[in-house]
Amino acid sequence: MGVNSDFETQLGTLFTRVFGGDAQLETVKRLSGGASQETWAIAGGGERAILRRAPGGTSAARSSAAIGLRAEAKLIEAAEATGVPVPRVLHVLSDGDGLGDCFLMSHVLGETIARPILRNDEFQSARDQLASQCGDALAAIHAIPIDGLPSELQESDGLAQIAQYEEIYRSFNAPRPVFELAMQWLKTNAPAPLPPVLVHGDFRLGNLMIDQTGLVAVLDWELAHLGDPREDIAWVCVNSWRFGQSQNRVGGFGQLSDLLNAYQAANGAEIVPEDIDWWEMLGTLKWGIMCMIMYEAYRSGADPSVERAAIGRRVSETEIDLINLLETANA
Amino acid sequence: MHDQPSTAELVEAVKAFIDETASPQLQGHAAFHARVASNVLATVLRELEQRPSAEQEERAGLLALLPADEQTSLEVLNDELCKQIQNGVLSVETPGLLEHLKRTTMAQVEIDQPRYSGLKTAKT
């Protein structure tokens, strides 16, 4: 199994407790993806599940924006109640289980990796439906009643996010004129905020389980917060999340009008496409500063991997996207 | 100083070692990092070739936008540009600013990620 034996033993005990006496844990496999949380596929006796766990079982969050795993489990349950396709939460682990901060959920089958979803023939009909399915799912997420959601959720609208990311950017003392221009433009042209809803916070390929029928589960709720619904709609439009298929604005697979039509049909809210342009620029800026944060882990010595060093050279990708968006906005 | 092998030749040799010898023997996380390392060396090779002329153009663009001495370093010029944008002296309406930023950013992406989709968009 390749993991420490305490972990395996505790996991085996839990597996039998959740699935009943006949279910013996047979396989434990660490899944790739999920940069900040560990995701394990576990199976035995015909049963299977996914374990979401903080790295090494400790609850230190990736950033101040990430909610804890127990809050994430509560959100997934709330999302299921309003019809968002999500895995079923099977068991939230208390400290007594000895496994740290984590929860078990159903193992939804499908593909999360963008490249096959966007290129392989088997996903053609999925791609045709996906933009409107994303509109449906986002409408359902944004309809989750916010009273009674976990208190860990932070609230931030667009201008608050600009301020938050500007502070991080300035702390690196690595001035980038394109970021300066984008921040000034965003501050000057901000649309009035919409009433706060539950925002998923990282709704894009990679965090969506897709099969031949399309969207089957929305995953990775750790960046959820209260905010403007247009943030989620625009985040999946950010060019980095089109994975090379720039002509398809929604995630590299679909058109914004299809997403917005489905969204409006499901939740009645009419979203102005020009506002999505603004939020896409903000999303692009945020992703650029996130790349700077990841590079900072290398620069500071916290993570000496070549991968963290290399990500610093992806910041310029977001700069050219910002230039393209600024050109369009000022044409 | 002698330059045989040149910097580019040394980097090419290491890249070839990673691609042809090391990578095929690696699996999982190590194989992934080897691919990243090879890509990084490709970036270094492009930078060796393209950076001198890119910086020359960048400097000319900055001197056209800012009142500054010709000898001012690129770093100081860019700091000054950032300040002027931040305090509103220069904006997206300033003639030449967006064009300068587009040229320098395209040159940077040509070095960093020449196949990036946003670069194709910028060229059209």
Chain segment A286-296, per-residue pLDDT in tens: 999 999 999 99
pLDDT at A61: 41
pLDDT at A56 over 70: no
Q: Which of A261, A251, A264 is nearest to A215 (CA)?
A: A251
| pLDDT tops 60 at residue A59 | no
The CA distances from residue A300 to A169, A175, A296, B57, in Å, are: 15, 17, 6, 31
Residue A158 or residue A11, greater confidence? A158
Task: Return the structure tokens found at B53.
Answer: 């002329």
pLDDT tier at A62 (50, 70, 90 boundaries)?
A: very low
Task: Provide mean pLDDT across the span A43-62.
Answer: 75
CA atoms of A280 and A38, how far apart (whole Å):
29
The DSSP H or E segment spanning A288 is: helix A273-299
Whether residue B37 lies inside any domain: the answer is yes
Whether residue A2 is predicted with pLDDT greater than 50 in this model: the reply is: no
CATH 3.90.1200.10 range(s) for chain A read 114-329
In A, minimum Cα distance to B94 occurs at: A181
pLDDT > 50? residue A124: yes
Q: Domain span at residue B68?
A: 7-123
The total of structural domains in chain B comes to 1
Residues of A in contact with B92 (CB under 8 A): 181, 184-185, 326, 329-330
Chain A 290-319, residues with CB within 8 Å of chain B CB atoms: 305-307, 309-310, 313-314, 316-317, 319
pLDDT, tens digit (0-9, with 9 covering 90-100), for A138-170: 999 999 999 989 988 999 999 999 999 999 999
Give the pLDDT band (50/70/90) at residue A7: confident
- pLDDT for the residue numbered A55: 73
Q: What gap in Å lies between CA A226 and CA A198, rounded to an integer? A: 5
Q: Chain B contacts of A310, Cβ < 8 Å? A: 36, 39-40, 43
| Cα A6 from Cα A251, distance rounded (Å) | 41
What separation, in Å, do the N-terminal and C-terminal C-alpha atoms of chain B show? 44
Neighbouring residues of A162: CB distance < 8 A, sequence distance ≥ 6: A183, A186, A187, A282, A285
Q: Is the pLDDT of residue A102 over 60?
A: yes
Residue A246, both tokens = 């720039």
Q: How far apart are CA A187 and CA A44, in angstroms?
A: 54
Residue A267: the pLDDT is: 87
Put simply, the answer to whether A317 touches B109 (Cβ < 8 Å) is: yes
A174 touches chain B (CB under 8 A): no
Res. A95 pLDDT band, cuts 50 70 90: low
- Cβ–Cβ below 8 Å for B102 and A185: no
Residue A33's pLDDT band, with cuts at 50, 70 and 90, is low
Region A47-69 average pLDDT: 71
- What is the pLDDT at residue A60? 46
What tokens appear for A127 in the block? 């791609």
Q: Whose structure tokens read 């085996």?
A: A12
Burial group, residue A289, by CB count within 10 angstroms (0-12, 13-18, 19+)? buried
What pLDDT is recorded for position B2? 80
Does domain A114-329 fall under CATH 3.20.190.10? My reply is no
B1 in a domain, yes or no? Answer: no
Q: Does residue A3 carry a pLDDT above 70?
A: no
Query: In chain B, whose CA is at the least distance from the CA of A181?
Result: B85
Give the whole-number percent of chain A exceeding pLDDT 90: 76
Compute the nearest-CA separation of A202 from chain B (Å): 21
Higher-pLDDT residue of A31, B105: B105
- Cα-atom radius of gyration of chain B, to the nearest Å? 19
Look at the block and give the residue holding tokens 């400290």.
A95
Those residues with Cβ within 8 angstroms of residue A276's Cβ, 6 or more apart along the chain or in another chain: A230, A233, A234, A237, A256, A260
Q: Is B86 on the interface with A (CB under 8 A)?
A: yes
| pLDDT per 10-residue tile (average), chain B, 124 residues | 91 98 94 96 98 97 94 95 97 97 98 97 95
The CATH number of the structural domain formed by A5-106 is 3.30.200
* Selection from A11, A45, A36 nearest residue A206 by Cα: A36
ipTM exceeding cut-off 0.90 for this assembly: yes
**A145: which 2 tokens?**
């009643």
Average per-residue pLDDT for chain A: 91
Greatest distance between any 2 Cα atoms in chain A: 67
pLDDT reported for residue A38: 82
In this prediction, residue B16 carries a pLDDT of 98
Look up tokens 């019809």; give the residue.
A83
Residues of chain A with CATH 3.30.200: 5-106
Residues A324, B121: C-beta atoms closer than 8 Å: yes
pLDDT, position A1: 42
A225: which residues sit within 8 A by CB, 6+ positions away? A65, A67, A153, A154, A155, A156, A198, A199, A201
Average pLDDT for A40-65: 75
